[in-house]
Structure 1
Amino acid sequence: MKPFSAAVLLIISSINSISAQSCPAFPIGPGPSSQYLPNPFIFQNGDPIDSLDDWACRQREMSHQLQTYELGTLPPKPSSVSGSWSGNSLTINVSEGGKSISFSVSINKPGGTNVPAIIAFGFASIPVPSNVATITFDNNLIAQQDGQGSRGRGKFYDLYGSGHSAGALTAWAWGVARIIDALESTPAVGIDPTRVGVTGCSRNGKGAMVAGALEQRIVLTLPQESGAGGSACWRIGNWQKQQGQNVQTASQIVQENVWFSPAFNSHVNNINSLPFDHHMVAGLVAPRALYVMENADMEWLGWTATYGCMGAARKQWEALDALDSFGYSQVGGNSHCSFPSSKQGTELAAFINKFLLKTCSGNTKIFRTEKNHGSFNPDTWAGWDVPVLA
């Protein structure tokens, strides 16, 4: 049984097959400023999105904008990627431009072959079923995140140079892509590379969100409590700050760590000038599956910024007739990065069952919060008309 409908599979095929030459040229400059969330259904030049091919091109444009102004450039697949499997360890060997690196991931998998897997940044903070493999990815090895002094350190930068524009989040997404490359070329591992998910919590949740956005082969993206820099929109976070709430903003986050490109530093005090926000990071996943888990008790994560941002993001799945592939669940009563099984366990299981195990059991059309956001209305920030693209 296929996890996606025929219509969604057609959209994914269209996105993957359209050539760059058939899309409009990428814009020069960030375009007009806006205090509200930019419209993903309009090209930056003002032309509307009214077909699947348009959407495929718009996603390319949004990715270009994000890589230019916030994330840094994602390099293409290196000239050589290979894998070797021994015990429970998969070693990935990469060569490019006369330089070589290698790194390993540990894999805990059930018996048999052709099983699905979830790549966990750092460690799996969510329960992974016994019939799904867990791939533990030491993302810090690829790009360090130990404060400002760790900029340009890690195996990604050993390969591409310490001055590369990619922030750690982009470097980690590159690392995830290389893991999938190695799974494809090393069938002895016994994992189906067409059924791979990715997860992480907090800073690693930001990594999971960006990996899902930049790597099209990821079937299921599961960011947990990613907050600012993940599922929260910068503009709404700034609004929360103006209301007197203690929420992480873009101007603060770039002082904390090196998750973003140095190019982002010159924009953090004027977020409204950017042609994107993080509803469009999520939109790069559409119509593939995304289940966002957030904490209703953590002000710092931007409890309203994630709710409003993902409410806006959801419209992109709506336009593609793929709301069964989108979930946002904001609950309270749990400490940071502890999974509230009694509240989100059934939802998570439904997403894993449908998109990795292909059993299609359970509800995956979810948008809910336990937080009282008062008079806040996501449509105030995202009052666009939603086209019918599917």
Structure 2
Amino acid sequence: MSLITVIGRGHSGTRAMSHTLSASGVDMGNPLNASGDLIPAGDMYEACRVFARYVDWKGDLSWDWQRAITGEIPKEFTRLLNSFLKSVLSSDAPRRGWKIPETTLCFPWIARLFPDAKFIFWIRNPRDCIIGTHVTDDMERFGIPYPTTLDERRRRAISWKYQYDLVKATPRPKNWIEVRLEDFVLKQDETLARLEQFLGFPMAKIPVKPEVIDRWLKDDDDTTTGPNYYSFFEPAMREYGYDVPANPKSIVPPPFTFNYDESKVPPYSLPDILTASNGDSIVNATQWPARRAEILNLFAEEMYGVMPGRPPCLHAQLREQGDSLNGKAIRQQVRLTFTDEPDKYFLDLLILRPAAATQPAPAFLGLNFHGNHTVLDDPAILLPQTPVRDQEKFGSKNGKPSAAGRGKAAETWSAEMLIDHGFALVTAYYGDLDPDFHDCFRNGVHPLFPSPGYAYRAPNAWGAIGAWAWGLSRIMDYVETQNDTLDPKRVAVIGHSRLGKTALWASANDERFAMTIAVQSGCGGAALSKRAFGENIASINSSFPHWFCTQFRKYGNAEQNLPFDQHALIALLAPRPVYIASATEDLWADPKGEFLAARHAQPVYDLFGLDGLGQDEPPPDTTIGKTIAYHRRTGTHQVNAQDWKAFIDFARKHLG
């Protein structure tokens, strides 16, 4: 009894082999679709996702499969594969087989589980392969990290390269043959003779269509269809005898374009935040909650993703307590855990509160980039247990923090200034919630909340910004219910850069935050997207595909189609005070766009009788506004003592 399988990238013409095998008396399982694929494919897809957990992305177009090739095959994978192949494995036919292109995505384990099987590696000119769509075009669907791109053709090309490289990296099975679709079509008798010798039985001859060969010659290869050749195809094309173009039209995708010229800002109009979806005008504060819910839902569905609710549990463990800042502050280090497994899903808090306080203290709450130990040079502050970004300044290497990073972000947080003014500081390392690299959401807190009803992830599933914002709300849960030294009614949420985006989104979802401060939050934060100034939607989704939901990608280079803009996000914070801060040299974050968003949020604050900015863009280093405040500090993309002085003044007015 022999077992046969066909591997090859989707849209490579493998159906020709499947139909040939079926016509030759091979039981290919049941049921089969029109392509000769064994279906339903759900268990096979899940098996591919299990395999993907053992793939290490090295960045760009490079992956390491050694853990998968040499390690133990998980029982979960075997169970899923056996379920998918049930009709094949239970067949008593003398010759059995199956074909589904996704087999290639887990080929190393297939080869190890079926060492005596006969493998037919099906090859097609990659220029033809990427013209048609296939379920493997976006490898995120299967949990495989890769350099995400908005270019559909490039996604297909990367998928092709990934599968080619994976097959090449896998030890060759003992029964192996390589067949080109072009030879099967144009030299059918010769190719069938090779297959008969390999398989050991006569092969049926099915009708073939010569027009399927070199379809790329008829491809327009324009901006609509995209290029059909990429330079990383060359090694495989040479290996399998395909002509490499001498002067291809497009080998490297054009770079993203960025605009820093105000005269080149495209014409745009902002959606009216005071017109409901049914056309009704919002004229008073009583009507606002319903309109607010509509806008919040738009942002969740189309941009940030839908955040889940509270976790199964919230445990708080006091890990350490003592004096800090020469006795000015009391330091607490608390671990929050979101399940009953204390070391799996956790968030480590650093709390610094005024030692002189006799009442629960108002607090600034924000996530930090490099670990709690960087916020203050205090040897008692514990180092993170989750990986950190490698940066020489912070003494981190190979994902591990070190004591050399203590206090390296002290100016960013100005903890002593806060304590001197009677405020507490609550912070946590953002990597505890999501380590901020794209591994298809296998890390951080995402696995706690899989997308119901979807094999992989829903298009509106939350990204990293959603995870960080969710974590801020969990800290508020703790402040509200398990720490009586902090005043839950007087907590200002603050963030810088991507964490400024996070602060805005957290506060939009969680009205317990009494005040919001977003510092140089830029694209996806406070800056108007429709201005397409500095960082834009296409570039941010390409560089950081894990920050937002996948729905947001469709607005890349199509900002005019956005049904909202960031002024509406700021408006969601009303009637609570909000401070938007920019920097003169941080054009990437579009200071003017941040100011305009704040100003255009004013109509909602007017409903509550609250003053906003009240004037045009101010000169540098000047704070304007009352309930909505703004400044543009002289300098670069950072937070410093000058910023903190302004934030503290604002907080003293609104939080007391």
TM-score above 0.5, yes or no: yes
Of residues 633, 637, 647 in structure 2, which corresponds to 1:331?
633
Of residues 447, 472, 476 in structure 2, which corresponds to 1:176?
472
| Displaced runs of 4 or more, over 4 A | none
> Which structure: larger Rg?
2
Tell me the SS of whatever aligns to 1:276: coil
What amino acid is the match of 2:366?
A: A
Relative distance call for 1:153 and 1:141 in structure 2 (3 A) is farther
Shift of 1:153: 4.0
| Map of 2:488 onto structure 1 | 193
| Map of 1:142 onto structure 2 | 433
Tell me the SS of whatever aligns to 1:52: coil
Q: Is residue 313 from structure 1 mapped to residue 601 from structure 2 by the alignment?
A: yes
d(CA) in 2 for partners of 1:55, 1:224: 27
Of residues 328, 336, 345 in structure 2, which corresponds to 1:101?
345
Query: Is 282-291 or 306-315 further displaced after alignment?
Result: 306-315
Tell me the SS of whatever aligns to 1:193: strand
Tell me the SS of whatever aligns to 2:552: helix
| Contact 2:570/2:597 (8 A) holds in 1 | no
What amino acid is the match of 2:627?
A: S
Relative distance call for 1:127 and 1:326 in structure 2 (3 A) is farther
d(CA) in 2 for partners of 1:293, 1:340: 13
Relative distance call for 1:127 and 1:352 in structure 2 (3 A) is farther
What amino acid is the match of 1:201?
A: H
Tell me the SS of whatever aligns to 1:318: helix
| Contact 1:213/1:285 (8 A) holds in 2 | yes
d(CA) in 2 for partners of 1:83, 1:325: 34
d(CA) in 2 for partners of 1:126, 1:102: 23
| Map of 1:384 onto structure 2 | none
| Map of 2:650 onto structure 1 | 351
Tell me the SS of whatever aligns to 1:119: strand
d(CA) in 2 for partners of 1:335, 1:180: 31
Shift of 1:320: 2.0
d(CA) in 1 for partners of 2:515, 2:560: 30
What amino acid is the match of 1:337?
A: Q
d(CA) in 2 for partners of 1:291, 1:100: 35
TM-score, structure 2 normalization: 0.45
Shift of 1:335: 2.7
Q: Give unmatched runs, 5+ long, in structure 2.
A: 1-266, 322-331, 369-374, 376-409, 451-455, 612-625
| Map of 2:556 onto structure 1 | 268
Tell me the SS of whatever aligns to 2:491: strand
What amino acid is the match of 1:220?
A: M
Shift of 1:172: 1.0
d(CA) in 2 for partners of 1:253, 1:317: 30
| Contact 1:251/1:268 (8 A) holds in 2 | yes
Shift of 1:195: 1.2
Superposed CA deviations along residues 138-163 of structure 1, whole A, max 9, x for unmatched, are 122212322xx334143321311383
Of residues 231, 254, 260 in structure 1, which corresponds to 2:526?
231
Of residues 535, 557, 575 in structure 2, which corresponds to 1:287?
575
What amino acid is the match of 1:145?
A: D
Superposed CA deviations along residues 289-344 of structure 1, whole A, max 9, x for unmatched, are 10111012222111222122222123322332122321011232x23214261xx5
Instruction: State the superposition RMSD in angstroms.
Output: 2.3
Q: Is residue 252 from structure 1 mapped to residue 539 from structure 2 by the alignment?
A: yes
Shift of 1:345: 5.3
Shift of 1:82: 3.2
Query: Is 286-295 or 125-134 further displaced after alignment?
Result: 125-134
| Contact 1:83/1:185 (8 A) holds in 2 | no
Shift of 1:219: 0.7
d(CA) in 2 for partners of 1:315, 1:297: 29
Shift of 1:57: 0.9
Tell me the SS of whatever aligns to 1:347: helix
| Map of 1:300 onto structure 2 | 588
What amino acid is the match of 1:336?
A: H
Superposed CA deviations along residues 272-294 of structure 1, whole A, max 9, x for unmatched, are 22221111111111111101110
d(CA) in 1 for partners of 2:641, 2:333: 30
Tell me the SS of whatever aligns to 1:310: helix
Relative distance call for 1:100 and 1:145 in structure 2 (3 A) is closer
d(CA) in 1 for partners of 2:591, 2:481: 41
Shift of 1:100: 7.3
Number of residues of Structure 1 aligned to a counterpart in Structure 2? 308
Q: Which has the higher contact order (CA 8 A, sep 6+)?
A: 1
What amino acid is the match of 2:478?
A: A
Alignment of 1:1-390 (within 5 A): 35-86=268-319, 87=321, 88-95=332-339, 101-111=345-355, 112=357, 113-122=359-368, 125-128=412-415, 129-130=418-419, 131-146=422-437, 149-161=438-450, 163=457, 165-187=461-483, 190-236=485-531, 238=532, 240=533, 247-257=534-544, 258-323=546-611, 324-332=626-634, 334-339=635-640, 341=642, 344=643, 347-356=646-655, 358=656
d(CA) in 2 for partners of 1:40, 1:174: 25
Aligned-residue identity in percent: 24
Relative distance call for 1:299 and 1:187 in structure 2 (3 A) is closer
| Contact 2:285/2:607 (8 A) holds in 1 | no
d(CA) in 1 for partners of 2:275, 2:435: 36
What amino acid is the match of 1:134?
A: L
What amino acid is the match of 2:441?
A: G
d(CA) in 2 for partners of 1:353, 1:219: 12
| Contact 1:82/1:181 (8 A) holds in 2 | no
Tell me the SS of whatever aligns to 1:311: helix
Superposed CA deviations along residues 221-259 of structure 1, whole A, max 9, x for unmatched, are 1111111111101002x2x4xxxxxx1101110011121
Shift of 1:346: 5.0
| Contact 1:213/1:281 (8 A) holds in 2 | yes
Shift of 1:204: 1.7
d(CA) in 1 for partners of 2:494, 2:277: 31
| Map of 2:32 onto structure 1 | none
Shift of 1:267: 2.4
| Contact 1:121/1:207 (8 A) holds in 2 | no
